[in-house]
């Protein structure tokens, strides 16, 4: 397990934060640092066909070691970290044989990772916990996934008695800003299906996610001296606020869970002359998703009837529920589930309350469920990952590869 810890720490110490305001791919030059390192490391452990393209997508092949025709499967993780919190000068702390109490991340600033607030910690008593120092995120999202994939490939290379078909792996930039799959070459990758190693808790196996759309509402007002404004001023801020007040009060993130969808407006900026609100729509059910978009259009129509053509809305679909593409090939989920059961890991099959590269890839022709990578509290100073969880995810990858070969032997 020490190899997993050392490998993971070598990755998280490289700053790979992505930038949503950049139009380049990758969105930050520093992502190249880890991409290039990974390409060289894959060559070193014995992977074949290692490539890194002009957009920093890294791909490699583990050739089959049996003569039977087995489908090529894949494993995918992203190397960028979230722009929500600093990823510069990550200084991981390793807590061996975790006692179950508070973990002081930063004594000077009194930053504490406590099971009284983050109760998932309680299940990792006695394990090796890797945390931040309280000043940065950790980067387990998704450098834990990368660690697990590389380690699993190395294990399979070193243990040729484990029979397997061809395996493709890929590491991508810019997943955290929604672009991880945008320039992914599915044809070049050449797998019949793949798994993203980008989940959280041990046992997570996900093949459902939100349908998603981005929303931008714009209001054009008229600014007049407030002392002489009667019948003349149109306050864009006031009308934008009225739009927000029309939203269903209980259909917001803080009131929803499981398969419940929501509206979420996260940015409001403007003045009397001009106001702009940015938000998102999410729902697992496609009909309900469409109904949410229609509701916003009706709200805008109502405000237009009252105030004139000074308010507009732009709704852009972002991604869709991959369940539609996974259900016709459910054996790929069954194989992952069986891999966990064989390893005495209880599968936790649930919908993702978010998105994943796997969703976009599924609609690009690469069915792609999501598997746990082991981390918790992503995108902030309280992020942590148990080393034992990364080991279990590594074992799941190896077992999936092994079971795929067995499954197609039995089918034959």
Residue 87: CA atoms inside 13 Å, Cβ hemisphere, count? Answer: 27
Question: Given the DSSP bridges, would you call strands 48-52 and 129-131 parallel, antiparallel or unpaired?
Answer: unpaired
- Per-residue tokens: 151: 């380690």
Residues marked active site are found at 80, 175
Question: Given the DSSP bridges, would you call strands 370-372 and 193-199 parallel, antiparallel or unpaired?
Answer: parallel
- CA 323 – CA 327 distance, rounded (Å): 6
Peptide bond into 344 cis (omega under 30): no
- Please calculate the CA angle 303-306-312 and round it to the nearest 5 degrees: 35
- Per-residue tokens: 155: 């294990």
- CA 146 – CA 9 distance, rounded (Å): 12
- CA 212 – CA 250 distance, rounded (Å): 19
Peptide bond into 26 cis (omega under 30): yes
- Please calculate the CA angle 256-283-210 and round it to the nearest 5 degrees: 105
Closest of 321, 323, 42 to residue 156, by C-alpha: 42
Helix-then-strand count for the chain, H and E = 10, 17
Q: How far is CA 1 from CA 137, 140, 147, 169, 322, in A?
A: 23, 16, 11, 22, 33
Angle between helices 387-411 and 2-12 (to 10 degrees): 110
- CA 362 – CA 369 distance, rounded (Å): 8
- Per-residue tokens: 218: 């714009």
Query: Where are the strands (E) in 361-403, listed by range?
Result: 370-372, 384-386
Other CB atoms within 10 A of residue 160 CB: 9
- CA 324 – CA 129 distance, rounded (Å): 37
SS3 78: strand
């Amino acid at each position: 397990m020490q190899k997993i810890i050392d490998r993971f720490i070598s990755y998280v110490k490289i700053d790979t934060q992505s930038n949503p305001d950049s139009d380049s791919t990758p969105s930050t030059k520093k992502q190249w640092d880890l991409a290039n390192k990974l390409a060289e490391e894959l060559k070193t452990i014995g992977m074949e066909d290692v490539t890194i393209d002009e957009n920093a997508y890294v791909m490699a092949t583990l050739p089959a070691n049996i003569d039977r025709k087995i489908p090529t499967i894949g494993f995918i993780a992203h190397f960028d970290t979230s722009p929500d919190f600093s990823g510069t000068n990550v200084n991981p702390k390793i807590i061996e044989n975790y006692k179950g109490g508070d973990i002081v991340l930063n004594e000077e600033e009194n930053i504490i990772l406590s099971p009284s607030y983050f109760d998932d910690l309680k299940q990792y008593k006695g394990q090796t916990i890797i945390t931040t120092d309280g000043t940065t995120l950790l980067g387990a999202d998704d450098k834990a996934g990368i660690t697990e994939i590389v380690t699993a490939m190395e294990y399979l290379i070193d243990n040729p008695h484990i029979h397997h078909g061809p395996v493709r792996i890929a590491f991508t930039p810019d997943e955290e800003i929604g672009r991880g799959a945008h320039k992914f070459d599915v044809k070049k990758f050449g797998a019949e299906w793949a798994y993203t190693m980008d989940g959280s808790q041990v046992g997570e196996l996900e093949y459902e996610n939100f349908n998603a759309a981005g929303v931008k509402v714009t209001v054009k007002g008229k600014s007049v001296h407030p002392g002489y404004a009667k019948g003349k001023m149109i306050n864009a801020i006031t009308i934008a606020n009225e739009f927000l007040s029309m939203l269903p009060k209980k259909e917001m993130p803080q009131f929803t869970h499981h398969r419940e969808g929501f509206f979420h407006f996260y940015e409001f900026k403007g003045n009397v002359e001009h106001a702009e609100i940015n938000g998102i729509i999410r729902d697992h059910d496609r009909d309900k998703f469409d109904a949410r978009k229609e509701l916003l259009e009706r709200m805008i129509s109502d405000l237009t009837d009252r105030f004139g053509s000074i308010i507009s809305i732009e709704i852009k679909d972002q991604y869709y529920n991959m369940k539609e593409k996974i259900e016709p090939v459910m054996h790929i989920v069954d194989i992952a589930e069986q891999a966990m059961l064989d390893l005495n890991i209880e599968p936790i099959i649930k919908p993702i309350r978010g998105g994943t590269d796997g969703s976009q890839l599924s609609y690009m022709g690469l069915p792609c469920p999501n598997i746990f990578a082991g981390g918790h509290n992503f995108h902030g100073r309280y992020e942590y990952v148990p080393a034992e969880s990364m080991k279990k995810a590594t074992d799941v990858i190896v077992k999936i590869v092994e079971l795929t070969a067995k499954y197609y032997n039995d089918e034959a």
